[in-house]
Amino acid sequence: MASRWHILREEGALTLCRQSPPRFDVASVTDLPLADPVRLAHQIRQDIWRALQNVRGFSPVVRVERCGDGARVTAGGRVEGVVAPVLAARISDVLANPANRRRWLRHATRGQARRDQGGEL
């Protein structure tokens, strides 16, 4: 089965989205250590979806940008309809959760010592 996700690459950035062009009707930002941006974006997208899957018309978008020695992650997405004020806080909670962050980085750095710069932004 082919991936239904768009992976848009720019110099120093990667955006993962279901619908193109990507749109952030709601978003939150966090900084993380550098890791494979595709793996990182997919892991974050899954957790954002789990937290907001009951929001009618929600489609997740995750952008990973190289920022100094780390990565700046913007997570959120498109919402068809009214954007409830609590959505950004729910996304922030997902991004700030220490267990989530450890899992994302563990997955996104797996085998990194063996890889070349292929996953680099």
Q: One digit per residue, pLDDT tens: the chain, 121 residues?
A: 456 899 999 999 999 999 989 999 999 999 999 999 999 999 999 999 999 999 999 999 999 999 999 999 999 999 998 899 899 999 999 999 999 999 999 999 986 654 444 555 5
53's CB contacts (< 8 A; 6+ apart) are none
Q: What is the pLDDT of residue 110?
A: 83
Report the alpha-carbon distance of residue 78 to residue 60 in Å, rounded. Answer: 6
Confirm whether pTM is higher than 0.75: yes
Question: Which CATH number does the domain 24-110 belong to among 3.30.310, 3.10.450, 2.40.128, 3.30.1950?
Answer: 3.30.310
**CB of 62 within 8 A of CB of 112?**
no
